Amino acid sequence: MDAIDISVVLPLYRTAATLEELHRRLTAVLAGRTERYELILVDDGCPAGSGAVAARLAAGDGHVRHLTNERNRGQQWTVFRGVGEARGAVVAILDADLQDPPEQLPVLLDTLAEGRAEAVFAARQGQYQRWTRMVTSRVFKGLLQVWLGVPRGAGSYVVMTRRMADRVLRMRVRSPYMLALLGGSGLPLGAVPMERPRRPEGDSAYSTWRRVRFAANAILAAGEVRWRNQDR
């Protein structure tokens, strides 16, 4: 097996409209750094065509791997599965709706290469969603910052070392919420402030009820991670 420098994990759900552009932009960014990269597209049982676009991209590009969940498992399970499949010395995670611009990836990779952190987040800046969602999101992320030391503004856009990825994969919990796993890893974290644009296509798949349920599950996951790793 050829060595892989960078693995990029992309959870897919209702992202058919943005996936081809994301692939084009990511390919341009990664090809400028290395030929040894892979894009891991994980379709979370999407009923709206994301899997078909992913299959087409995988058929035409040897850097693309396409995985499909047998049923909808949710974003966090999908991300965790993708990290488990990643072979790279560095693993990146970003959303596939273009709210995590791939052109920002080199800044995160360069910061990670400095060696001061095992994972580097894009710390979200700007008014990228409705103010009510902004307030609830900041309260929730503030709790994680206090509880687990997660950097302020941290979200789903992150790059990590192989060491961190392996550490996270060993932390078996009922709800593999990636932010909580990274915060509870015991390894140093970093962040780079970045403007996050509004979603270019469609609405979030998270309704208000789903956001409340997700936050509750994430807080429980953070508690479980902290309890299981309290001796680190």
What are the pLDDT digits (tens) for 142-172? 666 655 678 888 888 999 999 999 999 998 7
Distances from the Cα of 219 to the Cα of 96, 141, 142, 188, angstroms: 24, 10, 11, 21
User: Above 70 in pLDDT, residue 207?
Assistant: no
What pLDDT shows up at residue 115?
Answer: 97
CB environment 52-86: b (16+ within 10 A), e (fewer): ebbeebbeeeebbbbbbbeeeebbbbbbbbbbeeb
CATH 3.40.50.920, applies to 4-228:
no
* Residue the block writes with tokens 């560095």: 90
Q: In DSSP terms, which residues pair with 22 in a beta bridge?
A: none
Query: Quick one: what percent of the chain has pLDDT higher than 90?
Result: 58
Average pLDDT rounded to a whole number, residues 176-202: 82
173 vs 12: which has the higher pLDDT: 12
Q: Mean pLDDT of all residues in the chain?
A: 84
User: Above 80 in pLDDT, residue 141?
Assistant: no
For residue 12, give the 3-state DSSP assignment: strand
What is the pLDDT confidence band of residue 217, given thresholds at 50, 70 and 90? low
CB environment 183-217: b (16+ within 10 A), e (fewer): bbbebebbbbebebeeeeeeeebeeeeeeeebbeb
User: Above 90 in pLDDT, residue 118?
Assistant: yes
Q: Which of 181, 151, 95 is nearest to 104 (CA)?
A: 95
What pLDDT shows up at residue 25?
Answer: 98
